[in-house]
A and B are shown apart, each in its own frame.
Chain A
Amino acid sequence: MDLTLKVWRQDGPEQAGRFETYEAPGIDEHASFLEMLDIVNERLIADGREPIAFDSDCREGICGTCGVMVDGVPHGPVRGTAVCQVHMFHYSDGDEITIEPFRAAGFPVQKDLIVDRTAFDRIIQAGGYISVNTGAAPEANLIPVVKDVADRAFDAAACIGCGACVAACPNGAAQLFTAAKVSHLNLLPQGQPERYQRTEAMVETMERYFGSCTNYGECEAACPKEISIDFIALLNKDYRKSKSRGRWAS
């Protein structure tokens, strides 16, 4: 199929960006979206023009490295799918596709389609873990976990940290990312001792980098792992509880 791409090009974090248009003829329908970009890049290099910079690594939808806005939608047109697993059979001959970086104040553009997502690491660093030193763990089966609880914790733990939720949110909020990690740990028995301290620390770090959640729900629709916004409710509940516990204590 023959496509026309409008791609955001930006030389560096301080430079102004612009859209450039590229013709992409003869794309095989079985190529993935990123392979289509590879083909375009090979042609750019042959023409002596710098290839489009975009992030990707595993190309199996699990590492969370890739992520661009495709026609205004994070990861493109296929629900529950990272852009590396979108294949071109979802497009038709003659389509025009607009490709931009994730747009959010918390994710500054570095170059072309690459953004800086290190703020996510700051949120995890603030408390997204269970404090257990190597060697200090009890025998694994001493901690039984109700299967439904384990499954729900897993649903939250499936987050790949790609940032699509932030890019989709009109407020640039990171509630779904934060809620997913908080819920994964807060639901499990192992996560109880640090439950409230974790919630507060992670929420407050999140707020330093990202906007506020006003329940648009766009994040859930954009999430390649289809993580439910129910986890945001759980996050809010634990945060409220944590704050009121603090007041009673003082």
Chain B
Amino acid sequence: MSTVAQPLLDAKIPAGDLAEKWDNHRFNMRLVNPANKRRFDIIVVGTGLAGASAAASLGELGYNVTAFTFHDSPRRAHSIAAQGGVNAAKNYRNDGDSIFRMFHDTIKGGDYRSREANVYRLAQVSLEIIDQAVAQGVPFAREYGGLLDNRSFGGAQVSRTFYARGQTGQQLLLGAYQALMRQVDAGTVTLYPKTEMLELVVVDGHARGIVVRDLDTGAISSHSAHAVVLATGGYASAYFLSTMAKQSNATAIWRAHRKGALFANPCFTQIHPTCIPQSGDYQSKLTLMSESLRNDGRIWVPKDPDEARPPDQIPEEDRDYYLERMYPAFGNLAPRDISSRAAKRMVDAGHGVGPRKNGVYLDFSEAMQRLGRGRITERYGNLFQMYEKITAENPYAVPMRIYPAPHYAMGGLWVDYNLMTTIPGLYALGEANFSDHGANRLGASALMQGLADGYFVLPYTIGDYLAPFLGERPPPTDHEAFKTAEREVDDRVRGLLAVGGTRSVDTFHRELGRILWDYCGMARNAEGLAKARSEIQTLRDEYHNDVRVLGENETINQSLEKAGRVADFFEVAELMTVDALDREESCGGHFREEHQTEDGEALRDDERFAHVSAWGFTGVGKDPELVKEPLEFEFVTPTTRSYK
């Protein structure tokens, strides 16, 4: 196949006024004629919101799509666990919302570390996402008049969040999954469940396929295509204890990174403020309680660190509603990074509540008096139920206890305006890319971005890449590049089985998570990050010499699956610390203790750091190569973010 030279880190942002960029770009892109689309093969890895919506939409257009998921069904992707909602600038509430306002809120919420053109397009297509989902039968909450209901969410002063009880992610994913299964039935999409991508194959500089392992039989095989789309989610599971699903992993994007795709802003991770605090050392994950609870719940801690009374006996004057005190304009709806850091400050200062003094109260008593218990049940009933199942405490009677936990990764593979990575023909969608959320993602924006990328961006932009290859077949899977990649995968798998060490995969992962949480979590400093990097390197060496993976390759082997993912997490984790150390400023979720204002707020440095940091892989344990994409702000002026 022919190769096209790509200048490095050209974001390919279209010219013109902000509002016209996407429209102009759509007109300027090359098209593939409807009858020719079936002559192009596209691989989609991952079937969450981004992957399922992309695979379904590409199939509808007539492309020949192959979709892969390591789950037993596409419906189980972790998008399903999103609770709160999906944003759209519909302005149904007549409260002053607009595309520009959503764009502005998202740029500001991301602490001015995202690209204007991408974010504006996201706000534009948000309208169509709601239309599409409703037409698919997604049962969004409705008013008595039969029209759609909205609620407010952190980081915005308008009500633009559409929701489906506390199960918005589930319902949107089922909509995308059903659209995908319709295409499977139509024969445009071939689905491979329980199949995990373990390598990307690049031929003549272009992504032309993947190597996968069948999780039932261990069989390793190759698939080739004209383009490869990764929609495999984020890397927050590197922390071990997080709100991520147990199987969420970074292997697909990391393998692509090792093959040349730059990895952008790896230190931008989101610590979500409202999760159930850890209860014991055996714990396998942390459970998120939807941010929507902050609409009616009030967050407080006892003023006295030695407070011993139960919460309902602590009088008002002895409580510190610290978010309302510090951020009166936004109060309990302050953005996630700000709320999380404030909770950490309270707990670090000894005001923590609960048996381990590791939480803060989220209290509904005032809301229940104001609205009645019935309204609270209607809004949050299933969340209250979930909380009680886990903690054996009744949140109608006793305030919830919450604490921040790793939840989302804003960083990811670097992509241009077309969502293409630095490897031609390789695309990254949804949480797997870095593109829209800057240094902090606003609530209800992840579902929006995943679906925007899959339904309304990639289906247009991929045609522009494919058009010149009309008539060319992708390389056959017996091509040397595939054979080499298969051998590498086989060696890796057998290597892990052959270590025969003494410690389980989970014990290593837990230890890695602890290092990340302590030194690259809600607060970071140069000394800690350097220490973390060296500890990660030491632990990684130990891992490859002492991990114990029992069983064999040829059957279901969950330890083996985890072992490969954790091996990659070690490398991701190291890159997170390198990026965090390099970024000598505080912005969004990245808080460097050396860079704060007198009252402890993030101190950005636009002079030196108004750029995307994109890292190139140079070898395990070696210093990665930094390439910067400057961020230019033509339509908003970066200011100090204030929610006071």
Chain A residues proximal to chain B, CB less than 8 Å: 11-12, 28, 30-32, 34-35, 38-39, 42, 45-46, 48-51, 53, 55-65, 78, 81, 85-87, 89, 110-111, 114, 116-118, 120-121, 124-126, 128-141, 143-147, 150, 153-154, 157-158, 160-161, 184-185, 188, 190-191
Contact = CB atoms under 8 A, between A and B. Distances in A.
B122 to A, nearest CB: 16
Contact of A35 (B92, B132, B193, B282): B282
Interface in B169-227: 169-171, 174, 177-179, 181-182, 184-185, 191, 193, 216
Interface string B264-300: 0000000000000001101111011000000000000
Interface residues of B, number: 79
B72 A55 contact: yes
Contacts of A126: 185
Interface string B104-132: 00000000000000000000000010111
Contacts of A30: 279-280
Contact of A185 (B137, B144, B167, B184): B137
Given A57-B76, A150-B140, 5 more contacts: A38-B284, A117-B73, A129-B182, A139-B131, A190-B136
B56 A35 contact: no
Interface stretch (B145-153, B369-377, B524-532): B145-153
Nearest to A123: B181
Interface of B: 53, 56-57, 60, 71-76, 78, 80-81, 90, 92, 128, 130-137, 139-148, 164-165, 167, 169-171, 174, 177-179, 181-182, 184-185, 191, 193, 216, 245-247, 279-280, 282-285, 287-288, 386, 389-390, 392, 455-456, 459, 504, 506-507, 548, 550-551, 555-556, 558-559
Nearest to A153: B139
A35 B76 contact: no
A46 B504 contact: yes
Of B57, B193, B389, B555, the most chain A CB neighbours within 10 A belong to: B389
Contact of B284 (A34, A53, A141): A34
B185 A130 contact: no
B178 A141 contact: no
A145 B280 contact: no
A134 B78 contact: no
Nearest to A78: B389
A111 B560 CA distance: 15
Given A38-B506, A39-B282, A60 B556 contact: no
Contact of A87 (B56, B139, B390, B558): B390
Contacts of B135: 130, 132, 136-138, 140, 143, 190
Contacts, number: 205
Given A87-B390, A143-B135, A59 B284 contact: yes
25 contacts: A12-B555, A28-B280, A34-B284, A38-B284, A42-B506, A45-B550, A49-B550, A51-B558, A58-B78, A58-B80, A62-B167, A63-B78, A87-B392, A89-B392, A117-B72, A121-B73, A125-B184, A132-B179, A135-B132, A137-B134, A138-B135, A139-B131, A140-B133, A150-B140, A161-B73
Nearest to A120: B73
Contacts of A130: 135-137, 178
Nearest to A186: B137
Contacts of A116: 72
Given A57-B76, A57-B247, A59-B246, A129 B179 contact: yes
Nearest to B248: A57
A3 to B, nearest CB: 14
Contacts of B141: 150
Given A56-B246, A63-B80, A147-B146, A135 B128 contact: yes
Contacts of B132: 132, 134-135, 137
A131 B135 CA distance: 9
A50 B504 CA distance: 11
A164 B440 CA distance: 39
A188 B139 contact: yes
Given A56-B246, A118-B193, A141 B72 contact: no
Contact of B178 (A114, A120, A129): A129
Contact of A134 (B73, B139, B455): B455
B158 to A, nearest CB: 17
Given A116-B72, A137-B131, A184-B137, A154 B282 contact: no
Contacts of A49: 550
Contacts of B507: 42
Given A60-B81, A81-B389, A129-B179, A35 B559 contact: no
Of B167, B169, B182, B184, the most chain A CB neighbours within 10 A belong to: B182
Contacts of B279: 30
Contacts of B146: 144-147, 150
B641 to A, nearest CB: 31
Contact of A157 (B81, B174, B551, B559): B174
B283 A35 contact: yes
A126 to B, nearest CB: 7
A127 to B, nearest CB: 8
A137 B56 CA distance: 15
Closest 3 CB pairs of A and B: A144-B146, A137-B135, A129-B178
A58 B245 contact: yes
B184 A45 contact: no
B245 A63 contact: yes
B77 to A, nearest CB: 8
Nearest to B132: A137
A118 B284 contact: no
A42 B145 CA distance: 55
Nearest to A88: B282
Contacts of A85: 386, 389-390
A147 B131 contact: no
Nearest to A28: B280
A140 B288 CA distance: 29
Contact of B551 (A50, A56, A143): A50
Contacts of B131: 137-140
A140 B134 contact: yes
B134 A190 contact: yes
